[in-house]
Structure 1
Amino acid sequence: MNIEPVIPTIKNSPEQFTGDVWVDPIVAPHDADQRMTVATVRFAPGARTAWHSHARGQYLRVMQGTALCGTRDGHVVAAHPGQTIYTPPGEEHWHGATPDCWMEHLAMLEAGDDPATTTTWLEHVTDQDYTTARQAGG
């Protein structure tokens, strides 16, 4: 048993996010026997991920604010503190904050068989898609 080292907060990658997002890694696989990744992710108002999917799916536990999560078919959910969103393996989706409120979620996922394909990042969510989604979901 050991206490894991603290991993510093990471500012978002502009290739993967729109707006300001900070990631606090909690758990990351560091050998072949480990698959779990967990991080606290904080989104400034209006910030969001690019479209992406996960090889083994993803759970998002909303801790603060309202999370918007949308899929390619236009389905949008608005989740609140204490609620958990699940996206199944391979489902292209995005998630982020509403335009007027910070949002924080706990992201949980398992590494894929090839760690390079655990998360597949795609194009940015357009402002029009975000506006349509927030009107539908939040």
Structure 2
Amino acid sequence: MAKFEEVQHGVIFPVGEKNETYAQYFVGQSYLKNLVADPNINAGVGNVTFEPGCRNNWHIHHNGFQLLLVTGGEGWYQEEGKPARFLTVGDVVVTHDGVKHWHGAVKDSWFEHLAVTAGTPEWLEPVADEVYDALKNE
């Protein structure tokens, strides 16, 4: 079982505030702390924290990419047409330009990652409950 206290209290980076700006693109509660938001750099870096069961909608990054560096808890990452990947601390995910995907916490663990993102996101439909509920921790 993941170390809930460490994830909830941001051992490496602060958890941040409730992610109200992007709440419409998430199922469940997430938190966001922007770490790098420099207009002279074509990438942002944020610490994203997911409560158990929280996940974002399917989305695509256009004219860019997304790197996920897992820093706490347990989660999922899935690209369209591929099996979901179980994630734990130390895992790294590279999402290339134009790839439809989603990521979020497992049902019984908080989850935290740094997201290094360039380009413009296109937010799509939520991950269906039946798809999410069928995932099994590896």
* Alignment TM class, shorter chain as reference: 0.7 to 0.9
What are the ranges of 5 or more consecutive residues in structure 1 without an aligned counterpart?
Answer: 1-7, 113-117
TM-score, normalised to structure 2, is: 0.81
Q: Which structure: larger Rg?
A: 1
| Range 95-104 or range 73-82, more displaced | 73-82
Match of residue 128, structure 1, among 123, 127, 130: 130
Q: Give runs of ≥4 in structure 1 deviating > 3 Å.
A: none
Question: Displacement, 1:19?
Answer: 0.2
Tell me the alpha carbon deviations over residues 52-99 of structure 1, each in whole angstroms, 9 at most, x when there is no partner.
011212110110111201122042111210111111111100000000
In structure 2, what residue type is equivalent to 1:43? Answer: F
Structure 1 match to 2:8? none
Q: Please name the residue that 2:26 is paired with.
A: 17
TM-score (norm 1): 0.81
Number of equivalenced pairs = 121
RMSD: 1.6
Matched ranges for 1:99-110 at <5 A: 99-110=107-118
Are the aligned partners of 2:69 and 2:115 in contact in 1 as well (CA < 8 Å)?
yes
What's the offset of the Cα at 1:23? 0.6
Higher strand fraction (1 or 2): 2
Query: Where do 1:1-138 residues align within 5 Å?
Result: 9-12=17-20, 13-30=22-39, 33-55=40-62, 56-110=64-118, 112=119, 118-132=120-134, 134-135=135-136, 138=138
Task: Give structure 2 stretches of 5+ with no counterpart.
Answer: 1-15
Offset of residue 10 of structure 1: 4.4
